[in-house]
Amino acid sequence: MRVRHFCSILFVFCLSLPVWIGVAHADPTSSLTVSRVWARASAGMARAGAAFMIIDNSGPETDALIAASAPVSAVVELHTHVNDGGMMRMRQVDRITVPAQGRTELKPGGLHVMFIGLKAPLVEDTHFDLSLVFEKAGRIVVPVTVKSVRTR
């Protein structure tokens, strides 16, 4: 009886280990703070979505967001908007720089994380995890809040 109880405690401990390692990696060593992470709810049958956030860098070195992934779509890209003869068009970028002692804002009409080929609609008031990979800080996983399609 007692041995079986110990085994189940060990089992739960092992299951939760990756979560602890994830938190330990993201927080104390990193000079980056990612806040106000949100995605716009997808309208109708839309197969694409976008996420926005504020990234603050309190460290002495420039860092850069170089990749992202999320369970909501097979493809996740880093995008910006460019003015192409009066038309705002999206363009993929290799990296999103976060200056030393500075801030980079991803917002509608500008830089964003793009989800291509949504597996299911993004529903208002739901959450999902977004994994961000930075050149220096490494991987930081942040929860994304899905907000109304009217959010600006």
Binding region for Cu ion (CB under 5 A): 79, 90, 114
In the complex, minimum distance from the CB of residue 151 to Cu ion, in angstroms, rounded to a whole number: 16
Phi-psi region of 66 (alpha: psi -120 to 50; beta: other; left: phi over 0): alpha
Closest CA to 141 of 23, 10, 14: 23
In the complex, minimum distance from the CB of residue 114 to Cu ion, in angstroms, rounded to a whole number: 4
Judged by CB, which is closer to Cu ion: 67, or 90? 90
Judged by CB, which is closer to Cu ion: 57, or 73? 73
Closest CA to 76 of 107, 45, 39: 39
Looking at residue 43, the DSSP 8-state letter turns out to be P
In the complex, minimum distance from the CB of residue 39 to Cu ion, in angstroms, rounded to a whole number: 12
Judged by CB, which is closer to Cu ion: 116, or 141? 116
* Beta pairing, strands 87-92 & 73-84: antiparallel
